[in-house]
């Protein structure tokens, strides 16, 4: 909350569905296990709030496990759990010599990224053992070969293997890293997101 306030947002922590639905932007944080976060969201019909916001073009930002649950499924400790299904893909254990991936790392944002404007070459703080290692969403192409809509912008990072560090997809954005723990670079990323809400 403090990081978003420093980024210029008027922040309210709420369990009120109407307030969550009507806010200019909604942040879905996540700490812990994929299945637990999904259960917590489902327990307050949070998945429905996210889905309705996105259907109406209203901004949502997922952070860490809050990003992971936007995918179709997560596999942790041999258990497969259904996610919110906003993006195709599976969250699975990173194939790396040391897990968890904890600390600062570089990212590879695509050209034209709104989130990473001004911090394209910076490092961000990660704390995770699981991630999405393959992007599975096809571009929406017309018969003449042109795109019907702008394809999602996917940012990558590497820890043992390449994994998705962030996604920008219309009103839905998400980061695997913690911008609130990423110093000046994370603060700028949050400012970029808050500014995009206006």
DSSP string, 83-109: ---SEEEEEEE---SSSSEEEEEE-BP
Band of the pLDDT at 152, cuts 50, 70, 90?
A: very high
pLDDT of residue 85: 96
In the predicted model, is pLDDT for residue 143 greater than 70? no
Furthest CA-CA distance within the chain: 48
* Average confidence score pLDDT of the chain: 94
Average pLDDT over residues 121-140: 90
In the predicted model, is pLDDT for residue 3 greater than 50? yes
pLDDT of residue 19: 95
Domains and CATH numbers, the chain: 2-196 (3.40.50.880)
Residues that are catalytic: 64, 178, 180
% of the chain with per-residue pLDDT over 70: 93
pLDDT of residue 147: 47
């Amino acid at each position: 909350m403090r990081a978003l306030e420093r980024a210029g947002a008027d922040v309210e922590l709420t369990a009120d569905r109407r307030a969550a639905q009507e806010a200019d932007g909604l942040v879905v944080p996540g700490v812990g296990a994929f299945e637990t976060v999904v259960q917590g969201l489902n327990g307050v019909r949070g998945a429905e709030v996210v889905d309705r916001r996105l259907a109406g073009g209203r901004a949502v930002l997922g952070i860490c496990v809050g990003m992971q649950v936007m995918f179709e499924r997560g596999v942790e400790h041999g258990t497969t759990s259904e996610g919110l299904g906003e993006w195709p893909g599976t969250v699975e254990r990173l194939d790396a010599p040391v897990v968890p991936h904890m600390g600062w790392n570089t990212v590879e944002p695509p050209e034209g990224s709104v989130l990473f404007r001004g911090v394209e070459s910076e490092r961000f703080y990660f704390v995770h053992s699981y991630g999405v290692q393959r992007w599975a969403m096809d571009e929406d192409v017309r018969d003449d070969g042109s795109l019907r809509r702008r394809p999602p912008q996917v940012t990558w990072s590497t820890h043992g293997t390449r994994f998705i560090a962030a996604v920008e997809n219309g009103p839905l954005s998400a980061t695997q890293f913690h911008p609130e723990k990423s110093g000046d670079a994370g603060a700028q990323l949050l400012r970029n997101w808050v500014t995009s809400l206006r």
